[in-house]
A and B are shown apart, each in its own frame.
Chain A
């Protein structure tokens, strides 16, 4: 209330000026705006009357050009629909589809059929594109036992087998969503008892006999020993944390990435413009960019796909883990959970007190990665 009172006098001061403005700009063109735009400068574009004079001819020119381009566009449409190539006709439809969240059920079905036709044609087998919605009463959650992880990277490759990532040999053609981080073990040491006392300052900050290995997310991604786990290492897999408050969603300029009702943060690849803002925003380095046209051999392609999940992507879009939406929407475990040989990965419904993840949250010591950023991940690390 106080704020309103404070603002009102100021507003009234400016009111006459505003009215004047409106009178100048709008009164003459109340009825004729549609027919003769040249008489009606809706926006005071330029103070120079000569510019306004020019504008009329420019407008006509633009309109003519627009007509021409529209007709040529129609020509392209005629070209594409006439060809017997299903691929071309489908892509035409794809160009003009809406953001997935704004589509009606019919439009989603059309998009699904279009994609199924195109993928089946492209990969030489029957490809299904699922559009199953989030089910009520479901909030997916993930837990990972970092004491158990042995760093074998089977989850990484299970993910690639499931989710149709690019897997070419050249740089930038191989995309993996899960990263396994090898970290050195920290330890207390006698000879470091007096560390942590900065010289010259004279301020005692305490002893630091502990070697702080693994406090930051710096480690080795490219480790490749004969056998894992190694005695002096711990392993920490990271992927998309499916945050409750995802920074990537906040920054997306076209709102193509968003959080689904049952938890996962997904991407409508068709609407992605490839600006990579989300990749910069993500504090977990979870997002990958298709720099090249994805290399996906026909025989390795997984034909069971979801629209928001593992359907084959195109060049220039961002992708990331979505907790195997094509599986989890049908109650199946994600691929990485099923393949983990030590059973470190757990998945379940956070709203179901009987689920594995709920039991872990209830019983084990749990932490979230970079919890101080208030992203509220639904991916929990725990240990026995």
Chain B
């Protein structure tokens, strides 16, 4: 029996030597690398047009964001704090410095620099500003409607509010709160909470809206502000009467082997 065992060990050792040689041959073959799949390098986050991210590697093989090849939406976050600034103070919210960050919206809004200097800087004596509204009675402003297409189909408040309820009269790069004080575009929650108090309370506690980063209550989070998800000029999205605009869905799951389509799903087993 020992003889047999020792024989087999010898055989195995020989085999090992052969295996090592063949492995070395294999390694010598030119490694064929699959061409990297083309994915869009720029993707939108929550809704189209609100904020974008550009894909780059934070560390090798670990990008800051992965974009969907079908819809162009952000599909995965490696670095949740990419391009963020500290969120300002917010009443009723006690967060340690630097633990709450937001993505600045100010630079994203293209009209912003122009608005403040050309017409609405509020310092010109006669021409500038041309005509300040004397009261809060809505008046159509053709210039503005031409510049911001959403205004033609303005739904927010169903005709009960107008521009000056949210935008500052003389500082056009700012929003306005109840006291007429300017509010930054990066902190729209201070303005929206004027009417949507219940939503503000839920948002403050993390129930409404979205936060990414560290989930523990003391962790650093990136907060998504109101206007990153809702278009304030068209919150209801037409007849759907929902807060979030319609988007293209990501591809559906794979069909099981042998199934040509999923029409059977549409036949509801419960008779209507």
Partner of B5, one of A68, A219, A221, A331: A68
Which A residues from 67 to 119 make CB contacts under 8 A with B? 67-68, 70-72, 74-76, 78-80, 82-85
Given contact pairs A67-B1, A172-B257, A213-B268, A75 touches B240 in the complex (Cβ within 8 A): no
Docked pose: A74 CA to B214 CA in angstroms = 49
Residues A75 and B212 in contact, CB atoms below 8 Å apart: no
Query: Is A303 engaged at the interface, CB distance under 8 Å to the other chain?
Result: yes
Residues of B within 8 A of A340 (CB): 210
Which of B60, B207, B210, B213 is within 8 Å of A125, CB to CB? B60
Q: Given known contacts A154-B68, A222-B261, what 16 new A-B pairs fall within 8 Å (CB)?
A: A79-B19, A82-B20, A154-B73, A156-B253, A211-B272, A221-B252, A223-B249, A227-B249, A229-B246, A331-B214, A331-B216, A332-B80, A333-B213, A338-B76, A348-B215, A356-B211
Residues in A neighbouring B244, C-beta threshold 8 A: 148, 150, 229, 341-342
Chain A residue contacts of B247, Cβ below 8 A: 150, 152, 227-228, 341
Binds B, one of A27-35, A246-254, A292-300: A292-300
Q: B250 in the interface, Cβ–Cβ < 8 Å? A: yes
CB of A64 to closest CB in B, whole Å? 6
> Which residues of A sit under 8 angstroms from B47, Cβ to Cβ?
341
Partner of B249 from A68, A152, A299 at Cβ < 8 Å: A152
Does A59 interact with chain B (Cβ within 8 Å)?
A: no
Top 6 nearest A-B pairs by Cβ distance?
Answer: A75-B12, A343-B210, A222-B262, A71-B5, A171-B257, A356-B206
Q: Size of chain A's interface in residues, with CB distance under 8 A? A: 87
The answer to whether B34 and A158 have CB atoms under 8 Å apart is: no
Contact A218 B1, beta carbon cutoff 8 Å: no
In the docked arrangement, what's the CA distance between A71 and B7, Å?
9
A333 to B4, CA, bound (A): 59
B45 at the interface (CB under 8 A from A): yes
Q: Does B113 contact A (CB under 8 A)?
A: no
Least distance between B40 CB and chain A CB atoms (Å): 14
**Also in contact, A83 and B20, with CB within 8 A (given A224-B249, A224-B251, A360-B207):** yes
CB of A268 closer than 8 Å to a CB of B:
no
Q: For A126, list chain B residues within 8 Å (CB).
A: 60-61
A331 touches B37 (CB 8 A): no
| Complex contacts, A364 vs chain B, CB 8 Å | 207
Within 8 A of B (CB), among A335-354: 335, 337-343, 346-349, 352, 354
- B61, B75, B251: the one within 8 Å of A303 (CB): B61
The proximity string for B residues 140-158 relative to A, scoring 1 for CB distances below 8 Å and 0 otherwise, is 0000000000000000000
A83 contacts across to B, CB distance below 8 A: 16, 19-20, 23
The answer to whether A332 and B253 have CB atoms under 8 Å apart is no
Complex interface residues of chain B between 67 and 89 (CB less than 8 A to chain A): 68, 73-77, 80
Task: Give min CB distance, B129 to chain A, whole Å.
Answer: 38
The interface of chain A, by Cβ under 8 A from chain B, is 64, 67-68, 70-72, 74-76, 78-80, 82-85, 125-126, 148, 150-154, 156-158, 161-162, 171-174, 176, 179, 184, 211-213, 215-216, 218-229, 231, 297-304, 328, 331-333, 335, 337-343, 346-349, 352, 354-356, 359-360, 363-364, 384
B207 touches A363 (CB 8 A): yes
Q: Is B13 an interface residue (CB 8 A)?
A: yes
A363: which B residues are within 8 A, CB to CB? 205, 207
Q: Which residues of B have CB within 8 Å of A184? A: 268
Main secondary structure of the interface of B (DSSP, over half): loop
Bound-state CA distance A193–B257 (Å) is: 43
Complex CA gap A360/B16 in Å reads 62
Complex alpha-carbon distance, A301 and B255, angstroms:
24
Do the beta carbons of A221 and B8 come within 8 Å of each other? no
- Fill in one digit per residue for B1-33: 1 if any A CB lies within 8 Å of its CB, else 0: 100111011011101110110011000000000
B44 to chain A, nearest CB (A): 9
Beyond A338-B80, A339-B75, whether A72 also contacts B12 by CB under 8 A is yes
CB contact between B8 and one of A72, A152, A331 (< 8 Å): that residue = A72
* Chain A residues whose C-beta falls within 8 Å of the C-beta of B16 in the assembled complex: 78-80, 82-83
Which partner residue on chain B sits nearest A143 by CB separation? B207
Nearest-Cβ distance from residue B71 to partner chain A, whole angstroms = 8
- In the assembly, what is the distance between CA of A339 and CA of B212, in Å? 8
Q: Which chain A positions have C-beta within 8 A of B37?
A: 297, 299-300
In the complex the two chains form, is B20's CB within 8 Å of A158's CB? no
Q: In the complex, which residues of chain A have a beta carbon less than 8 angstroms from the beta carbon of B174? A: none
B159-205 at interface with A (beta carbon < 8 Å): 202, 205
**CB proximity of A238 to chain B, nearest CB, Å:** 12
Question: Is B9's CB under 8 angstroms from A212's CB?
Answer: no
CB atoms of B214 and A333 under 8 A apart: yes
Among A174, A301, A348, A360, which residue has its beta carbon within 8 angstroms of that of B217? A348
B205 close to A359 (CB less than 8 A)? yes
